[in-house]
Amino acid sequence: MRAGFSLVVALSVVCVGGFAEELANVKALDSRDLLIADNGTVKVGIDRAMGASITHLSWSGYERNTVNIHDPGRLIQQSYYAGEKIDRQNQGQNQVWSPWTWNPIQGGGVGSWARVTTFEKQESGSLYAETIPKLWDMPDEEAAAVMRQRTGFERGLKNAVLVECELESQRDVEDQWGGGRPRHQEIPALYFTRNFSEFRIYRGKGEWDNVPQSPGPPWGRTEVPLNIMACFNERGQGIAVFSPSATEQWNFGPHREGNSDESTAAPCVHLAPLVTVKLEPKSVLQYRYWIVVGTEEEIVPTIEALLELYSGENVVLINP
């Protein structure tokens, strides 16, 4: 998804929350590193120091930041898996994540943040960034890949954030991970503050199912028929995720006990729509997703409109 791109609509993962405390790499948000898109209802921000991942989400009904930024494995970010699981402990691979696949992370690796090469607010008001991701299992190893992302708003829907993502894999075809293997991909990985712990699946026509889940990991897994799942707080404010390209059960659940509303706290909640894709060494993968915020009454009309427009979307996979 290059700066002038036009996204073409065509056609059991382990989430990387950084839960070993000694690996936590906490960094408070610094406004000098942030780009914010603000449409008067929602504020969404990406952070240059955190791989240009989404690190801020708030809205008129809830003005605190809802994104958990406790370590590089949290945030709202791109995350992919490819090739064979290999043991690289003799090269410095963290033993907690060994053996491990090729796993580029937009935020960064177990102890470092990813490098951003393009970071700009476009004339349209959308935020655009290009990131050289880190491999999750290593302390500070860049992946042979580029992640591109445009973050903005869905036209005509004030409480809907639109995110367009692309991975360009640049692996050597003879590298140690080998060729493509069908693997679950998180599209995307999302981590929110712990107080948004009431999970609901949208059934359509204003109907929701509550889905209780004990603290993990391991995360819960559930069918999401319309590819819309939300997490709410006790005040009735919620965050719904619509990822129309998902084909598998979603990962979801709270981490640890508590009801913290702090974005840097260790406890959090997690959502991850999943799709199975075989990424080859030179694959390009594109997809889009939407985040809708507010009360149920505010969320429902927006997700019904999105379903009408985009429910048939799939990931776009380009293999040279």
- pTM of this prediction? 0.93
Positions of E strands within 122-227: 127-132, 134-135, 145-153, 160-169, 182-193, 198-204, 207-210, 220-222
150 in a domain, yes or no? Answer: yes
- Does residue 161 lie in a domain region? yes
Could you tell me the CATH number of the domain that includes residue 134? 2.70.98
What percent of the chain has a predicted confidence (pLDDT) above 70?
90
Q: Look up the domain containing 229 and give its range.
A: 22-318
Does the pLDDT at position 10 exceed 50? no
Work out the widest C-alpha separation in the chain, in whole angstroms: 55
For 27-61, how does the pLDDT look when each residue is reduced to its tens digit (9 = 90+)? 555 556 899 999 999 999 999 999 999 999 999 99
- 6, part of any domain: no
Closest CA to 82 of 174, 169, 208: 169
- Is residue 1 in some structural domain? no
DSSP-derived pairing of the beta strands 76-79 and 182-193 = antiparallel
| Spatial distance between the Cα atoms of 189 and 74, rounded to a whole number of angstroms | 8
- What pLDDT, on a 0 to 100 scale, did the predictor assign at position 217? 87
202-251 pLDDT tens trace: 999 999 999 999 999 899 999 999 999 999 999 999 999 999 999 999 99
Q: Average pLDDT of 72-81?
A: 97
pLDDT at 23 > cutoff 60:
no
pLDDT band at 9 (very low <50, low <70, confident <90, very high): very low
Residue 116 located in a structural domain = yes
How many domains, the chain?
1
Please indicate, yes or no, if residue 220 is contained in any of the structural domains.
Answer: yes
Q: Which long-range contacts (CB under 8 A, 24 or more apart) does 10-14 make?
A: 10/314, 10/315, 10/316, 11/314, 11/315, 11/316, 12/184, 12/221, 13/81, 13/183, 13/184, 13/185, 13/186, 13/251, 13/272, 13/274
State the virtual CA torsion across 116, 122, 127, 129 in degrees, nearest 10. Answer: -20
Q: Is the pLDDT of residue 305 over 50?
A: yes
pLDDT at 181: 95
In a domain, residue 286? The reply is yes
In a domain, 17, yes or no: no
Tokens of 228: 């819309």
pLDDT in tens, 183-202: 999 999 999 999 999 999 99
- pLDDT at position 263 over 80: yes
pLDDT of residue 111: 84
